[in-house]
Structure 1
Amino acid sequence: MNIHTLEEHSKAVITAKKLGIFNIYEDSRVHLDQDVFTRLVEENNLNIQTTTRDCNIFPHEKSFQLNGIKYYSLF
């Protein structure tokens, strides 16, 4: 990898975080903030799954699958 490739990828990550993408994981999961998740679901009429988590702060995980990638947010 050269310095220009590193710079391009770094800028892409910074932009993604500004757009509400908290993290992208190697196992094909994308963690979105609540507003972005909700907007995507509503605008695209997506079917979501809701699971309960053992957590007092964010007791629910809502997610949808698209092309083998799981997009989720914590509520």
Structure 2
Amino acid sequence: MDSKQIFEHWSNWAETYGTNLRATTKTGTAKLLELDALARRLGLLNTTESADILEVGCGNGINCISLSKQ
């Protein structure tokens, strides 16, 4: 795929799926594994401390929303 095709693909998925998990991945299991890896890497597990995180250009924000709940 060239860059135009990639852009069109993700634009179509965003229009079709909106804020649904399907907008960023085909399987819920893959997303759960990704979120777990991010939480562990960012040190968000087993802590009461807060963190400031900026996610730019990464889909529909489902990662940040899910991580904020942790």
Q: Is the structural similarity TM-score above 0.5?
A: no
TM-score by length of 2: 0.32
Q: Which structure dedicates a bigger proportion of its chain to strand?
A: 1
Q: Which structure dedicates a bigger proportion of its chain to helix?
A: 2
RCO greater where, 1 or 2, for CA within 8 Å and sep 6 or more? 2
TM-score by length of 1: 0.30
